[in-house]
Amino acid sequence: MPEKSMLATHAKDLRSGKSVWEDRSRASISKPLNDSIRADVVVVGAGVSGAFMAHALSQRFENVVVVDRRPPAYGSTMASTAMLQFEIDTPLTELSAKIGGAKAARAWKRSWRATQALTKLVEGENIRCGFRRQDSLYLSGDRLGSRGMEKEVETRHRIGLPGEFLPASRLRETFGIDRTAAIVTPGSASADPARLTIGLLRRAIRNGAVVYSPVEIKRLMAARHGVVLDTGTHFIEAKHCVFCTGYELLEGIPRHGTKITSSWAVASRPDAHFPHWLKRTLVWEAAEPYLYMRSTPDGRLVIGGEDEDIDLPSYRARSLPHKTSRLLAKAKKLLPGLELSLSKAWSGAFGESADGLPIIDYVPDLPNCITVMGFGGNGTIYSKIASEIVPTLLKGRPDKDFDLYRFR
């Protein structure tokens, strides 16, 4: 008999508009669930977080199942701009003040290692997702001015992380941007998040995993030796369950210090005219909210930001024209002379935590269930970190950084 029962997640309207990643047709890699089944591990969620998890688990467990209420990659992943940065939204100097210097250093260094491991994985397995190694240009703003940026670089150097401080004069000379300072850093990347997700899931399938959709999990129940997921028509029995449900959060879990907000993005037409250095550089600001930009292999410029502390799908949708104008105006102010013809505009739900770190932890009262919530601007990197931590936990071995990501 079940020992504990709880509701799963409620479906949300996670995005509006049409992102640039939706243009490419994708063959289906999932199939319907027509019977009750058993598995070693069930991954709930077939977005980028679930894909990294399935890829990692399929190499260590024989029977891995992935389920989603939508087709793979069609939730928040499709709204991502996929700037794959090791740099955490919370500056190292600020995070040190929040959680202590030693923990902050571990968090930043873990993010660096995960970003390099992600690069090695994508290139090593030849996942075709428009992946490109990139530098990161972090501009001064209302969060960090020139002195703050200089201190940030010094703090990063003390723990062995790269980064070069650029004063205003060098920033203007090199990038034509008029700000008081910047930090330029190697080691980041960019990709098409939907193709990355599908590529990871394809490789998990080759390892024996099975992806089912559409599957709606109505309720989950803790059983004596695992967990039972009720779809309303069938049951999935598993030894372990990992929830990678993005911003459709599991009912009943602690939410202290977390919030769901809204973000907007636009993309130009292909072969747009913009400074050549943007082909190899990601741009973002030490500001709240911050503007960010990246290019794509087909020559589009993607611009995002304008975040607001509102989680209302109707507001995201009706604000799209206004936010589109705001993003374009901010980009032109930053890069005078920029002329773009926009082809896509979209918005999506976005998650934040008080310290900028994700949550990777056991679900309270459900010891065989783990939840992954990749809050913050580097959600894809946090998904990679989760895919490193969770399999070791399920095998009964601790991860040295697990304490950084538990419920706080």
CATH number for 231: 3.50.50.60
**Which of helix, strand or coil describes residue 405?**
helix
Give the count of domains, the chain. 2
pLDDT band at 138 (very low <50, low <70, confident <90, very high): very high
Within this chain, do residues 8 and 34 fall inside the same structural domain, yes or no?
yes
Within this chain, do residues 349 and 262 fall inside the same structural domain, yes or no?
yes
Tell whether 22 is covered by a domain.
yes
Tens digit of each residue's pLDDT (9 = 90 or more) over 103-125: 999 999 999 999 999 999 999 99
| Cα of 95 vs its chain's centroid, Å | 19
Tens digit of each residue's pLDDT (9 = 90 or more) over 171-214: 999 999 999 999 999 999 999 999 999 999 999 999 999 999 99
Within this chain, do residues 390 and 303 fall inside the same structural domain, yes or no?
no
Within this chain, do residues 279 and 321 fall inside the same structural domain, yes or no?
yes
- Residue 284: CATH number of its domain: 3.30.9.10
Whether residue 398 is preceded by a cis peptide bond, meaning omega within 30 degrees of 0, is no
Tell whether 127 is covered by a domain.
no
Within this chain, do residues 231 and 379 fall inside the same structural domain, yes or no?
yes
DSSP letters for 121-190: HHHHTT--S--EEEEEEEE--SS--HHHHHHHHHHHHHTT---EEEEHHHHHHHH---SSEEEEEEEEEE
Tell whether 109 is covered by a domain.
no
Within this chain, do residues 62 and 11 fall inside the same structural domain, yes or no?
yes
Angle at alpha carbon of residue 43, lines to 39 and 46, rounded to 5°: 130
Tens digit of each residue's pLDDT (9 = 90 or more) over 352-392: 999 999 999 999 988 899 999 988 889 999 999 999 999 99
Within this chain, do residues 65 and 204 fall inside the same structural domain, yes or no?
yes
Residue partners of 142: CB distance under 8 A and separation at least 6: 286, 287, 288
Structure tokens at 41: 């591990």
Within this chain, do residues 348 and 281 fall inside the same structural domain, yes or no?
yes
* Percent of the chain residues past pLDDT 70, beyond the cut: 97
Tell whether 178 is covered by a domain.
no
Task: Give the mean pLDDT of 269-288.
Answer: 96
Tens digit of each residue's pLDDT (9 = 90 or more) over 296-325: 999 999 999 999 999 999 999 999 999 999
**Which of helix, strand or coil describes residue 338?**
coil
Residue numbers of the domain that contains 281: 258-353
Listed residues 353, 368, 386: the one ending a domain: 353
Q: Please, where are the H alpha helices in 218-346?
A: 313-318, 320-334
Within this chain, do residues 309 and 376 fall inside the same structural domain, yes or no?
no
